[in-house]
Chains A and B, each alone.
Chain A
């Protein structure tokens, strides 16, 4: 099956800093989702992005399907951005990476 690698595994930021999270996947996919898992465990949808770039406020995502990677950009980070970020290529089901644990310090 498809393999998903996320980097970095852990990231600590000072509030206001920018960051880039990366997701590599081993096979072509129909689509890809990015999620933020908050401290209460809820998976929050960030992006549904098969290719190209999408923006939502301080967050944006780019997927280059031909090169099998996706990037999540977080600008002007806030403490509420803390949590775990997952990418998940989508075929008939989602295949999750191990996640990036983000801690934003005030």
Chain B
């Protein structure tokens, strides 16, 4: 089974802090994604990566950056946390082999509260 793990289930941070959210997948997937999910807004893509050291902006990249130094690990960084970044953060990964490339496997999520 594909396993995507996220470093924390719950996180409380102060405004202005630098926040790191870590995601690790164990299935050698090329693609990795970071989303945030808010009530009434659904899942929105922040950043994705299709290879080590490669990254692309999603729909809402402002205030975030990412790092992918190893294939299995994709980190989301909030440079200076703000209250409007309080949200559920979800990491996902997907394979690139033909026939299975479309399906995304999600981690359990990190619920971040910024005070």
A and B are partners in one complex rather than unrelated chains:
no
